[in-house]
Amino acid sequence: MDNFRLYLPTEVIFGKGTENETGAAAVRFGKKALLVFGQQSAKKSGLVGRVEKSLEEAGVAFREFGGAMPNPTLAHAEEGVKEAAAFGADIIIGIGGGSAIDTAKAIAHGSANPDEKLWDIWTKKVPLTKSLPVGAVLTMPAAGSEMSDSAVLTNEEIGKKAGINTEFNRCRFAIVNPELGMTLPKYQLAAGVTDIMMHTMERYFIPDSDCDLTDEIAEGLLRTVIKNGAVIVKDPSDYHAMSEVFWASSVSHNNLTECGRGKDFSVHKFGHALSAKYGVTHGASLAAVWGAWAETLYEDALPRFARYARKVWEVTEADDAAAAKEGIAKTVDYFRSIGMPTTLAELEVGVTKADLHDLAMNATMQDTLKLSRIRPLDAAAVEEIYRKAL
């Protein structure tokens, strides 16, 4: 087991009706809240109103800032920084899924550093040494942003999607009411289930790691998501299944499942390049390439893939190679069963062979970054995996 540090400062307030506790949570960190949410569904459902009522009762002033998009953009976050400054916000609250929460994090960073360009902070040209406190009211199980140290933005001007990991991304509190996921479209739920699985698997497929407890936690999380994810895609009104998936979403991306091993977010790099170019749903972009990625690399991490097949999918095949291949096939079949694309063609955004080189160059930062801790992948190798995923 490798050395590690685990820091989980987010207070999770979990259960039915907990959005009504937002004010009591927020008042400890600020008196003027900028509320960041998406494309009006949070308002139409009455959620924003309930949050605002809670803030009023706690003596916290607020201003609304809607319009967060599924792949949150730099330009929108920069508008939010201006809005926060005009209001004098001292806390930012994201209401929604990962996009709204990531936008809230970006606004917090930009607001605390008004003399710096937000993209320079995002790309680490400027060190991030301070930020405003961020709270989250989660409406969708997927990104895990409510407990993670990460956030992602797309710079549409240059067509690049990038993430930043920093302890300043940790939300001070997260309101998690699984009931809020019951009105989501089934495709969004399926994409969220996929993202939760990927956050766990990107930390799991690390060769030569020996972390018994971390493995057991990850494998249990995956079995839980696979079982209950299928249920909520079929019946979103099942509270038990929805609550299991919501909690798995938070745990999958709070660093617990990487203790002693670290992580390898190479599949996310493939997906980010697709999302930046085509605007596809994040979870769908991951499902479309995972099978090709796994088929390319499983022999280089055979014990890990074989263990995954046996522990997560209950594969009984004694031969490691045969077990690994069966585990990969079952994973791809599961994605397909919940309505996710499993090839680039199934994304239905017009990906062609001519696009693959540019996608690979984007994913590898113009061939300056090698992907995967299993086996280093340069741009040419990444392009071949995209080709296999067509």
Residue pLDDT, tens place only, 90-99: 999 999 999 9
Check whether residue 225 and residue 369 sit in a common domain.
yes
Note the Cα 173 to chain centre separation in Å.
17
Check whether residue 197 and residue 172 sit in a common domain.
no
Check whether residue 169 and residue 190 sit in a common domain.
no
Residue 123, domain extent = 11-180
Task: Indicate the number of domains in the chain.
Answer: 2
Residue type, 5: R
CATH code of the domain containing 337: 1.20.1090.10
Using 50, 70 and 90 to split pLDDT, how confident is the model at 209?
confident
Average pLDDT over residues 220-237: 98
107 assigned to some structural domain: yes
Task: Identify any residues that bridge with 35 across adjacent strands, giving them in sequence order.
Answer: 64, 93
Average pLDDT for the chain: 96
Check whether residue 162 and residue 190 sit in a common domain.
no
Q: Is the pLDDT of residue 296 over 90?
A: yes
Check whether residue 117 and residue 265 sit in a common domain.
no
CATH code of the domain containing 57: 3.40.50.1970
Check whether residue 248 and residue 174 sit in a common domain.
no
Task: State pLDDT tens for residues 324-364.
Answer: 999 999 999 999 999 999 999 999 999 999 999 999 999 99
C-beta pairs of 211-217 under 8 Å, 24+ apart in sequence: 211/1, 211/259, 211/260, 211/261, 213/259, 214/1, 214/256, 214/257, 214/258, 214/259, 214/260, 214/261, 215/307, 215/311, 217/251, 217/256, 217/257
Check whether residue 172 and residue 210 sit in a common domain.
no
